[in-house]
Amino acid sequence: MKFENEAQVVEYVERELAAACPEGWRAERLSALTWKLSKGRPEYGYVFVAAPDGRMFVITHGNFDAPLTADRAAQKARYIPGAALAAYPLSQLVARVMASEGPNVWGLT
């Protein structure tokens, strides 16, 4: 999939994240190219980041903020290359991560 501009990336991501979220979950845009996928509790969820050209996407998962260690400072994430969208819609890839990887849990400190 090729994007002409950042606005097209945002439009596509918004649509795909909404489709990827299981019942009770929602995608909230935090900044220009960052979203949080959460269910009820704001400290529980996934963070999704898109490149402005749509060539790469990252979703963080399974991270905790306490106790802070070197391992936890380097967060766990899945990288989705934009080229993968030729074979799979972003919603399917994000849903797969959400089904197989636990969410981030913040606010433990």
- Tell me the per-residue pLDDT of 57-86, one tens digit each, with 9 for 90 and over: 999 998 877 766 777 677 899 999 999 999
Q: Are 54 and 9 in contact (CB under 8 A)?
A: yes
- 18-51: per-residue pLDDT in tens? 999 999 999 999 999 999 999 987 688 999 999 9
Cα 74 off chain centre by: 16
Matching residue, tokens 């995608």: 27
